[in-house]
Amino acid sequence: MKFITIDKKDWAKGIEKSRKTYQLFGPVKDENGFLIKSLEHDILPDMDYYDSVMSAKSILFPQTEKMLCATLDESKKDHHIMKKAEIDYSPRAVVGIRPYDAKAIMLVNLNFDTDEYRDPYWCDAYEATTFVGLGINKPGPFDFSTSTGTGPFGEEGLDVLLADLDDKYLAKVLTNKGEVFMNACEFKTQADEKESQALFDILRKEAEKNIASHIDTAKLKEKTILELHEAPFWDDIAFSCINCGTCTYVCPTCWCFDIQDEVKQKDSVRLRIWDTCMSSLFTRHATGHNPRETKVQRVRQRFMHKLKYFLDKYDQGIMCVGCGRCVKSCPVNIDIREVCTTMNSYEKQD
C-alpha cells in the first residue's frame, strides 16, 4: 500500500494542478451549512468541515437530471425521437468526502449496477469519479457509523483516504484511480508504509472511541418480513411524522426517483427527479389506487426497506451507513437508531 505525505502549504497548488484533468467537487459552506458542490474556478474544498447537510450522492445522481431529449419541430428529420441527453462524463474527483458517504455510494451501486440492469446515468458518473476521502478525527454526536461497518476511517468505496495531521495530510492510496489523481496533483512524497499504517490505526481507534452512539442489527436477519411488517409498534413510530421527506432527501443511501416529461416551446425533455417514499403521491397509481395510502404504511416502508428488505436481498448489511443526517434533520425527532432497536429486539407474542 502506498502512503503519501502532503504538506498543507502544497495542498492548494496540488489541487489546482488536478483541475487540468478533473472537474472537482468538495465541501463548501453556504448559508445552509456545508454542501458537497462543484468547486468552480479557484474554490478549494473546505477541509475543516465537520459534516455536510447533504451527501455526495448528488454528484452521481443529481436532484434533477436530464435523461432524454427530443425536438418537437416537425421540420427536423428526427423530430419526436427521444435521444440520450448529453452529459459530461469527463473525469471528476470528489475531494473530502466522508468515509460513510463513500460506503453509501457502494450500497446504491447494488441497486443501479446489477447483473440484470445497468443504470447508465449512475454507472457512467460513477466510473468517471475518483473519491478522495477525509477521515473523521472527531466524530460528532449523531455519527453511529461504527455500527454499520464503516467507521470514521472506513476505506470502502474510496480511492484515497486522507488523514488530517494538523500541518499535513497523510494519504493512503487505495486504488489505481487514486494513484492517477495523486499524480495529477503532483503529490509524490512517499511515506514509510509501516509507520503510516500504524498512524492510521491510532487515529482510527481514537476516533472510534468518540462514537458514543451504537445500534444493534444482529437479530434483524432472523426475523421474518411478515413478523416485522405486522408488529404493533408502527403506529407509535409513525405518529408524529409529518411526511416532509427530509430524512430521505438527506440520506446518502436513498435512491427513489420520479420521471417527468417537460415541454418548452419545441423542446421536450425527460427528467429524473429525486422522490421520496414518504410522499403519498410516490405510490399513487394512475387508477387512483394507492398501496401506501396511510402515513404509517409509508413510515413502515422506509424503515423496513432500510433495515430488513435490503438486508435480506443483498446480504451486505443494512441500507444505512450511520451518518446520522436523518436523525439530526427530522423536525419531529424520529430516530432510526431507536427504530432499529425496536425492530431488532422485537419478539412476537403468541
Which chain residues interact with ligand SF4 by CB under 6 A?
A: 241-247, 250-253, 278, 306, 320-326, 330-332, 334, 336
Q: Considering the complex, state which of residue 178 and residue 317 has its C-beta at the smaller distance from ligand SF4.
A: 317
As measured in angstroms, the least distance from the Cβ of 150 to ligand SF4 is: 10
Distance CA 163, CA 223 (A): 40
Q: Considering the complex, state which of residue 23 and residue 147 has its C-beta at the smaller distance from ligand SF4.
A: 147
As measured in angstroms, the least distance from the Cβ of 213 to ligand SF4 is: 10
User: Using an 8 Å Cβ cutoff, are 306 and 340 in contact?
Assistant: no
As measured in angstroms, the least distance from the Cβ of 202 to ligand SF4 is: 27
Q: Considering the complex, state which of residue 3 and residue 49 has its C-beta at the smaller distance from ligand SF4.
A: 49
* CA dihedral of 150, 156, 160, 166, whole degrees rounded to 10: 10
Q: Considering the complex, state which of residue 196 and residue 253 has its C-beta at the smaller distance from ligand SF4.
A: 253
Beta bridge partners of 260: 271
As measured in angstroms, the least distance from the Cβ of 306 to ligand SF4 is: 6
Distance CA 121, CA 62 (A): 10
Where do the H-state alpha helices sit in the chain? 8-18, 57-60, 99-112, 120-128, 176-185, 193-209, 225-229, 234-238, 246-250, 295-304, 310-314, 325-329, 336-345
Beta bridge partners of 134: 162
As measured in angstroms, the least distance from the Cβ of 315 to ligand SF4 is: 18
3-state secondary structure of 234: helix
Q: Considering the complex, state which of residue 204 and residue 325 has its C-beta at the smaller distance from ligand SF4.
A: 325
Distance CA 136, CA 149 (A): 15
* C-alpha distance from residue 48 to each of 11, 27, 52, 134, 242 (Å): 13, 9, 11, 10, 34
Residue type present at position 3: F
Q: Considering the complex, state which of residue 165 and residue 296 has its C-beta at the smaller distance from ligand SF4.
A: 296
DSSP label of 280 = G
As measured in angstroms, the least distance from the Cβ of 177 to ligand SF4 is: 24
Distance CA 317, CA 310 (A): 8
User: Using an 8 Å Cβ cutoff, are 34 and 325 in contact?
Assistant: no
Distance CA 95, CA 195 (A): 24
As measured in angstroms, the least distance from the Cβ of 333 to ligand SF4 is: 8
Q: Considering the complex, state which of residue 231 and residue 244 has its C-beta at the smaller distance from ligand SF4.
A: 244
Q: Considering the complex, state which of residue 130 and residue 276 has its C-beta at the smaller distance from ligand SF4.
A: 276
Q: Considering the complex, state which of residue 178 and residue 245 has its C-beta at the smaller distance from ligand SF4.
A: 245
Beta bridge partners of 70: 268
The C-alpha cell 494542478 sits at 17
As measured in angstroms, the least distance from the Cβ of 40 to ligand SF4 is: 27
As measured in angstroms, the least distance from the Cβ of 65 to ligand SF4 is: 21
